[in-house]
Amino acid sequence: MIIGSHVSFGKEQLLGSVKEAISYGANTFMFYTGAPQNTLRKSIDENLSKEARKLMKENDIDINNVICHAPYIINLANNDESKYNFSITFLKGEVTRCEDLGIKYLVLHPGSSVGLDRNIALDNIVYALNQVLKSETKIMILLETMAGKGTEIGRSLEEIKYIINNIIEKGKIGVCIDTCHLNDAGYNIKEFDNFLDEFDKVVGINYIKCVHVNDSKNDINTHKDRHANIGYGTLGFNTILNVITNTRLKDVPKILETPYIGEHDEDKERIYPPYKFEIEMLRNGIFNENLLEDIRNYYKNLK
């Protein structure tokens, strides 16, 4: 199983990400090239990238399974002039950063229509992506399936299909399915094989290049997008285990984006990453009822 989590990309850039992934026992990971909610970016340090690639090799992390995620504030759906052009330019920069790092996949939220007709918003996304994806582009952009919060585009497989259908460079576009988002968008992934059949009919299963593995705090079709820890949401441990062990997605990287565990300790609020424990639990295939306590105890004893 190719499984990892969201990790940070700090002072040590990709090298820091690799070290964090290794600390979770992961064999892949996903990072943002800076804060996910802003577009301030430092240039890529090739020395750190080299060291990162070496460390990946030593730890059996295949760089072809590593994922980059574009920041949320890129919006290719709304053509409000300055923001639209900024989003396109920034996305081109992200593509270049991925190419410099040697990363193959860049996950992107398709965008939000805001005040626009959804069909126009879809065409805006298509136009923008065709500006970014050229024959010489070395990476693939993965459209993430969205929960449908607010005016998000990408809440249905038909919208994803529409975008893909209109991309000129077909080999450079793929899909990242997110279990929380699919549930919140109204897809029943408790019957995951049925869902995959539908996905295959509408989009084509071979377009799936990444799975975001999250439980959901909300019921199906609520369009909320609030992630829960594995087994602590409405999907439940077995549903998620079933998704990530499905043989049809065997070679697809699985990435956890579950929330950090909070704790009130010595009058301070602390938060701990759940990933080491969630990865272990999913590899074992057995739900750990004491997961949250185990995480708190582990990180408490570390400091």
Residue numbers at the binding site for Fe ion (CB under 5 A):
144, 178, 212
Q: Are 17 and 52 in contact (CB under 8 A)?
A: yes
DSSP symbols for 210-226: EEEE-EESS-TT-----
Q: Which does 159 bind (CB under 5 to 8 A by kind): Zn ion, Fe ion, none?
A: none
Strands 105-108 and 140-144: parallel
278 binds, among Zn ion, Fe ion, none (CB under 5 to 8 A by kind): none
* Residue 15 or 66 having the CB closest to Fe ion: 66
State both tokens at 90.
């920034």
Burial label, 193 (beta-carbon count in 10 A; 0-12, 13-18, 19+) = exposed
Q: Among all residues, whose Cβ is closest to Fe ion?
A: 212
Cα of first residue to Cα of last residue in the chain, in angstroms, is 31
> For Zn ion, which is the closer residue by CB, 20 or 215?
215
User: Which residue number, 126 or 213, has a Cβ lying nearer to Fe ion?
Assistant: 213
Residues that bind Zn ion (CB under 5 A): 225
Q: Which residues, listed in sequence order, are joined to residue 173 by a DSSP beta bridge?
A: 141
CB nearer to Zn ion: pick between 152 and 225: 225
- Least separation in angstroms between CB 212 and Fe ion: 4
Torsion on CA atoms 173, 139, 18, 108, rounded to nearest 10:
-40
What are the φ and ψ backbone dihedral angles of 252, each rounded to 5 degrees?
-90, 130
* CB-based contact 17:31 (threshold 8 Å): yes
Report what 184 binds from Fe ion, Zn ion, none; CB cut-off 5-8 Å by kind: none
Shortest Å, Cβ 201 to Fe ion: 23
Which amino acid, one-letter code, is at 282?
L
Nearest residue (CB) to Fe ion, 212 versus 276: 212
| Interacting partner of 225 out of Zn ion, Fe ion, none (Cβ under 5 to 8 A depending on kind) | Zn ion
Which of Zn ion, Fe ion, none does residue 217 bind to, with CB < 5 to 8 Å depending on kind? none
- Output the smallest distance, CB 90 to Fe ion, in A: 16
Between 149 and 296, whose beta carbon lies closer to Fe ion? Answer: 149
| Min dist. Cβ of residue 69 to Fe ion (A) | 6
Question: At closest approach, how far in Å is the CB of 297 from Fe ion?
Answer: 28
Q: Do 5 and 42 form a contact (C-beta atoms < 8 A)? A: no
Residue nearest to Zn ion (CB): 225
Residue 254, contacted partner among Zn ion, Fe ion, none, CB below 5-8 A by kind = none
Whose CA is closest to 153, among 79, 220, 216, 103?
79
Q: How far apart are CA 294 and CA 301, in angstroms?
A: 11
We find the least distance from the C-beta atom of residue 214 to Zn ion, in angstroms, to be 7
